[in-house]
Amino acid sequence: MMVEAGFSEAELVSETGFNSSPVTKGVLLGASKRQIIEP
Amino acid sequence: MDEAKFNAFTPEEKERIIEGIRKKYAKVAISPEGNFRYPTGRAGLEGQRYDPQTIDSLPEDVAASFCGVGNPFSLGKIHEGDQILDIGCGAGVDTIIAAMMTGFTGKAVGIDLVPSMLERARSNLAKTSLNNVQFLESSAEILPFDNDTFDVVISNGAFNLIPDKAKALHEVFRVLKPNGRFMIADQVLLGESPVDTKSMLATWHR
């Protein structure tokens, strides 16, 4: 979904250990908006 | 994840989700204690290894209102002068920390859908000496900012609550400057999502 929005380098970095329910997991996610360099 | 399923809510279903969020977080605005399965307040900040000096510099009421699920600042540095947006800022703890990090030449803006949380955020801000913070009531699905406004967008435990996540992600991308960074701590669902909309709405806030 992040890539479809245009992000690059989207990654799930790690778990946080804080889970709000038995079926969810706290995670850290990072992404960046790559600069488009015109030719 | 079936993206189409998550984006197929009717306006009435979206309103039910938002009402549910407002109801839950009206209680959280008073105190997060007892409303989550993980540590909140100072214990939460310490558990997520926020910088100890930063924690100590927060007024006690500000630290006490922390209910994040992670530490988005662990994903990258905030530079002096950065413009930062905090999506679903809640009581504004991360917004305030971002403003401390960027300094007086930068700015931190927090948006949230819940009026009582924004009220708590403004009350928290009043307990600091910061003058580079702004809190606004706004949906993440339609951000009230120009293209290429922010160096960093952060979010902590809020994105999972947004009904149309794809739309919100497009908005985050739009308001980020080129080379801007999105640093998010959040909950992800393990296994399959509920098969029908009724079940999905019933479990939206878990």
pLDDT at B205: 58
pLDDT at B50 exceeding the cut of 50: yes
B190 contacts A2? CB cut-off 8 A: no
Q: Across the A/B interface, how many CB contacts are shorter than 8 Å?
A: 113
CA distance A31 to A11: 6
Question: Which residue of chain B is at minimal alpha-carbon distance from A21?
Answer: B206
Q: What is the mean pLDDT of residues B68-87?
A: 97
| Average pLDDT value for chain A | 90
- Mind telling me how many Å the CA of A5 is from chain B's nearest CA? 5
pTM of the model: 0.89
CA distance B81 to B199: 45
Residue whose pair of structure tokens reads 């009220």 in the numeric block: B119
User: Are B102 and B80 in contact, with CB atoms under 8 Å apart?
Assistant: yes
Q: What is the mean pLDDT of residues B165-192?
A: 94
B182 contacts A31? CB cut-off 8 A: yes
B15: tokens are: 């309103």
Nearest to B37 among A12, A21, A27 (CB): A21
Greatest mean pLDDT range, B2-11, B26-35, B95-104: B95-104
pLDDT at B1: 42
Which residues of chain A make contact with B67, given a CB cutoff of 8 A?
Answer: none
Assess B88–A contact: CB distance below 8 Å, yes or no: no
Assess B89–A contact: CB distance below 8 Å, yes or no: no
User: Are B139 and B161 in contact, with CB atoms under 8 Å apart?
Assistant: no
pLDDT at B4 exceeding the cut of 90: no
pLDDT at B183 exceeding the cut of 70: yes
3-state secondary structure of B179: strand
Of B138 and B34, the structure prediction assigns the larger pLDDT to B138
User: Are B100 and B94 in contact, with CB atoms under 8 Å apart?
Assistant: no
Of B180 and B199, the structure prediction assigns the larger pLDDT to B180
- Mind telling me how many Å the CA of A28 is from chain B's nearest CA? 4
Which residues of chain A make contact with B172, given a CB cutoff of 8 A?
Answer: 5
To probe the interface with B, which of A1, A11, A12, A16 has the most B CB atoms within 10 Å? Answer: A16
